[in-house]
Structure 1
C-alpha cells in the first residue's frame, strides 16, 4: 500500500476510479470486486468520442504527470497505451480475454485483481454462465476466441497479451529493413504493444516526445558498419544525412481492426499496401496522424473469396519508403535509399496455411472471424469456409 498522503499504486488508483462512478462503463463485474470492466473503444471507430472514451486513460496520464492539460497536445492513443503498459507490467492484474467483448458497439476488456490470490479461485455465479464456469481458465479455448472474434491484439494501440495467451502471435509483425534494395536487418516483433522503426536508440525518460517506452525498438543499422554491398557503400554519405531525420521514427501496431501506423519523425514517409489510396502514385503519411494500413475484415473476406471462388490472393504486405516518393508510376522501379517491408504474422500464416489446405476448404463461407494463432489456423480457415 502507498504511504498516507503518498502516490497511489495503479491498483489503488484504479479501484478508486471504479468506485467513483465517474467513468461510464468502468464498473465491477462481480460482487466480490475482483473482476472489473474497462471500456476499450478504438480511436479508429466512427463513433469514437474522445471526451468520454479516452477519459480514464487521460486521467491516468494526468495522475502520472505525463500530460498537463492546457499545455500538452492531447494524444488519446498514447494515453491508452500508457495505461495498457501499466496493466501489462503490474503483477496485480490479469486480463480475462474470454469475458472481454471487443467486437460490439461499446467494447470493453475485463481484468481480474490477482494480487490476493490466483484468479482460478474466482468462480462467481454473478457473471459466469454454466459454460463459462466449466471452462474455468484465464485463457479461452481456440474455438471460443475464434468464434467470438473478440481477442484484441494491439493498438496505440497495443494490448497486454501474456506469454501463455493463445493468441500471442496475432500481434507480431515481421519487419525487413533495406538500404538501396539490400536487406540490412530482419526482425519479428514479440510485443503486443507494437514497435517503433527508428534511426537511433530512444533516450531514457523521454516518453513525452517519443511515446511509450514499452514499444519494441527496431533501429536502422549504421551504414558504415555494414560493408559488403557496393550499392550501400556507394551511398553511405547520403544515407547518413537522411537517417537523422528519422529519429522519432514511425509507430506500427496490430489491433482487432487491422494494422495501424503513426509517423512521428520529421523526415517524409510514403507507403504502399492493401489500403493505399494510390497504386501508381505516391501515398504520403502525414505527421502525428494515425493511418490504417490493413483491414482485418477485408483481408478475411478476400481470403474467403480466394479459398472458395478462386479470386485474387489477398494482399497483406506493407511497404514504407523514407525520404522519397513511393510508389512511382506503374512499370517504373527506382532503387530506393531507405525502405521497410512489414507483414502482420497472422495474415501471412493464414494465407500460407490456406494455400497448403487447398481444395479441401472450397465451400461457401460464413461471416469472417478474427485471426488466431498459428496452431489454430486450420480451425480459423474451416470457420471461414463452413457451409
Structure 2
C-alpha cells in the first residue's frame, strides 16, 4: 500500500489489534479470524475515557470525524460511529453468542468474514462442534450418561448428569454435509460437501450471469447423473429424463449456526421429510423461492442433552428430499421413488459418534454403499 494511502476498515482494525496498544482488543482465536473488542458503557462508574474510548477515538480521528484540540470530545458518538461501521461492513460479522456485556470489563466478539476465514470457521469458533465444551464436563457426562461404554449402568456415588451441558455459546460451525442421490433406491452419487456456502443439487450447472437469481455462486454444485448410465428399463429412464428437465435450477442447501436450510429454485416440485417436517405420514412440499429450515440446531442440542440424561430418544437429523413426487407417501416406499436425496449434516453425526450414540454411518433403507 502506498505511503499515506487510506486503509480499508478491515486493514485498519487488524493493524490496531496487532499493535497491542489498546487494552482489551485482541484476537479471540489462534487463527486470527475472530477478535474481542472492549465495549464498556460511558455511564459506568469506572469508565475511563482515555482507556475505554481509545479505540473509538482512534477510528474517529482516522476517518477525520474528530480533530484533537478543535472538536469537542464525544465518546458516545465515537463508539456509535465504529459500531455502525462494523455493522455496515461486509467484512465483519458479530458473534453475539460470545459477547459478554454484563461483566466488569464488557466486550463484543466479531468474526472477520472472508472466504478463507469462513472455510476455517470450524477451527475459528470451536474447531469441531465440541471444542468449546469443557473437558471436565465432557468426562463427567461420558462417565454418567446412560450409554456409558464400560458398564451401561450408573454407580451409587455418581451425581446427576449436568442439567445444562450444552452452553448457549456452543456454535455449530461444521458446514459439511453428506449428500446421497438415489434413482429408484439405487445410489448414484455420494458426496461430502465442503463449501461454507452450501451446495446446489440440480440438473446441469449454474449458468453464468445469473447472480440476480442465485446470488454469488460459491456453493458447491452437484449435478444429477444421466439415467443413461444406469441399467434402467426404457420407460423408467424416459420418465426420469422428463423429470430432470424440470430440475434445471435445482435447490440450494446450506448449514448455518442456526440449522440446515434449503431454497427451491427449480420448476419441478420438491417434497421433503426430516426433523422439522410438519407431517410424517403425508407430503411436505417446498414452496418455490422460499427459504425453509430443515433442522434446528438448538432443538437438536436440547434433544441430545435429554437423550444423554435418559429422558428421550436420540435426536433425528437425517433429511430426505423427493423430486417430482409427493413424499412422505405411505402408499409408495421410498425405494420406488424416481429421484431422492438424503442429506446428513456431519456436525450431528460427529456429536452422536462422540457420545457413542451413532453405531454406523446412516443410509436410507435398502441403499448400500457398494
Q: What interval of TM-score do these two structures reach, taking the shorter chain for normalisation?
A: 0.5 to 0.7
Deviation (angstroms), 1:244: 1.9
Q: Structure 1: how far apart are the matches of 2:113 and 2:98?
A: 24
* Aligned twin of 2:237: 236
Q: Kindly report which structure 2 residues correspond to 1:166-315, keeping only aligned pairs within 5 A, or say none.
A: 167=173, 170-224=174-228, 226-227=229-230, 229-230=231-232, 234-309=235-310, 311-315=312-316
- SS of aligned partner of 1:349: helix
Kindly provide the CA deviation profile for residues 275-310 of structure 1, in whole angstroms up to 9, marking residues without a partner as x: 111111000010111111111121122222222216
Deviation (angstroms), 1:238: 1.2
Q: Structure 1: how far apart are the matches of 2:273 and 2:358?
A: 29
Aligned partners of 2:126 and 2:171 also within 8 Å: no
- SS of aligned partner of 1:238: helix
Over the residues paired in the alignment, what is the CA RMSD in angstroms? 4.4
1:330/1:243 Cα in 2 relative to 1: closer, same or farther (>3 Å)? closer
- SS of aligned partner of 1:209: helix
Alignment partner of 1:100 out of 86, 92, 95: 95
Aligned partners of 2:264 and 2:290 also within 8 Å: yes
1:152/1:329 Cα in 2 relative to 1: closer, same or farther (>3 Å)? same
1:173/1:149 Cα in 2 relative to 1: closer, same or farther (>3 Å)? farther
Aligned partners of 2:184 and 2:335 also within 8 Å: no
Question: TM-score when scaled to structure 1?
Answer: 0.54
Aligned partners of 1:293 and 1:318 also within 8 Å: yes
Kindly provide the CA deviation profile for residues 343-363 of structure 1, in whole angstroms up to 9, marking residues without a partner as x: 0001112123322699xxxxx
- SS of aligned partner of 2:278: coil
Q: Structure 1: how far apart are the matches of 2:213 and 2:352?
A: 38
- SS of aligned partner of 1:246: coil
Any gaps of 5 or more consecutive residues in structure 1? 3-8, 17-27, 37-54, 61-82, 88-92, 115-136, 154-166, 359-387
1:235/1:140 Cα in 2 relative to 1: closer, same or farther (>3 Å)? closer
Q: Kindly report which structure 2 residues correspond to 1:1-387, keeping only aligned pairs within 5 A, or say none.
A: 12=8, 29=37, 31=54, 83=90, 87=91, 100-102=95-97, 110-111=110-111, 145-146=132-133, 149-150=168-169, 167=173, 170-224=174-228, 226-227=229-230, 229-230=231-232, 234-309=235-310, 311-329=312-330, 335-355=336-356
Q: Structure 1: how far apart are the matches of 2:126 and 2:329?
A: 46
Aligned partners of 1:172 and 1:345 also within 8 Å: yes
Aligned partners of 1:175 and 1:188 also within 8 Å: yes
Any gaps of 5 or more consecutive residues in structure 2? 13-35, 39-53, 60-83, 102-107, 115-122, 135-166, 360-370
Kindly provide the CA deviation profile for residues 251-292 of structure 1, in whole angstroms up to 9, marking residues without a partner as x: 111112211111111110000001111111000010111111
Q: Structure 1: how far apart are the matches of 2:295 and 2:109?
A: 23
1:248/1:59 Cα in 2 relative to 1: closer, same or farther (>3 Å)? farther
Kindly provide the CA deviation profile for residues 4-39 of structure 1, in whole angstroms up to 9, marking residues without a partner as x: xxxxx9x748899xxxxxxxxxxx947558x99xxx
- SS of aligned partner of 1:254: strand
Deviation (angstroms), 1:248: 1.2
1:264/1:103 Cα in 2 relative to 1: closer, same or farther (>3 Å)? farther
Q: What stretches of structure 1 move > 3 A for 4+ residues in a row? A: 11-16, 28-33, 55-60, 111-114, 137-153, 330-334
Q: Structure 1: how far apart are the matches of 2:316 and 2:358?
A: 18
Question: TM-score when scaled to structure 2?
Answer: 0.56
Q: Structure 1: how far apart are the matches of 2:239 and 2:354?
A: 42
Pairs aligned (count): 250
- SS of aligned partner of 2:308: helix
Q: Structure 2: how far apart are the matches of 1:265 and 1:331?
A: 24
